[in-house]
Structure 1
């Protein structure tokens, strides 16, 4: 037997839900004062979708930033160790150099312009 064609050319989308999921969506629709179909259409239209390509590109950038941040953490640990070891005669020049390296790593990690390092630190 052939299917009856509906005069309005619309599509039907079927979705399987558990009883708990169905009840949750039904409650949300009632709270909003809309039908479940309206709620689902609105949710689908307004959903933010991240493509797999974007995710892969972002993952590579995040790995790079994590690597650089780990280097910054290493520099901070070296600086703290130096200060704690040489409390009486901490070399100001060495400390300044370490701080400049840390600032440079932060700039590199986050692609910041040269404004991060204060002008006083450059002299």
Structure 2
């Protein structure tokens, strides 16, 4: 007779590996607090956080920040021009400049996680 409750896990679903990490007392307390707030045991919280987190390569991040700064500078130049030449500002020219900024923002896509996983950096 089968017992009620959860079905038995298959052999490939059993957790048989462990990872040891070293943390400070403050980090451990924060992790335990976050796990408690999430309503799950610490081990499950850490597993889910590690699997669901996407790490961004620092070089990609620097490139992204550089591009956002350039776009911000362009936007400031358009705003300054509009404020200076309010009477002469042609809507079409301003819209074209804003569309160019919009394209720049859309072009900032970071490499996908799959592409960066092969990176050893």
For the criterion TM > 0.5, the same-fold answer is yes
Give the deviation of 1:78 after TM superposition.
1.0
User: When the two structures are superposed, what TM-score results if normalisation uses the length of structure 2?
Assistant: 0.57
If asked which structure has higher relative contact order (CA below 8 Å, sep 6+), I would say 2
SS of the equivalent of 2:20 reads: coil
Q: Name which of 102, 111, 119 aligns with 1:110.
A: 102
User: When the two structures are superposed, what TM-score results if normalisation uses the length of structure 1?
Assistant: 0.56
Partner of 1:15: 22
Partner of 1:72: 78
Deviations 1:11-53 (A, max 9, x none): 422221234x423332443454533122111111111211123
CA distance in 2, matches of 1:22, 1:40: 11
Q: Name which of 52, 56, 60 aligns with 1:54.
A: 60
Give structure 2 stretches of 5+ with no counterpart.
1-14, 105-121
Which structure: larger Rg?
1
Could you tell me whether the CA contact under 8 Å between 1:75 and 1:102 is conserved in 2?
Answer: no
Give structure 1 stretches of 5+ with no counterpart.
1-7, 84-93, 113-123
Q: Name which of 40, 50, 74 aligns with 1:34.
A: 40
Give the deviation of 1:79 after TM superposition.
3.0
Structure 1 pair 12–56 and aligned structure 2 pair: CA distance change class (3 A):
same
Give the deviation of 1:57 after TM superposition.
2.8
Q: Root-mean-square deviation (CA), in Å?
A: 2.7
CA distance in 1, matches of 2:101, 2:25: 45
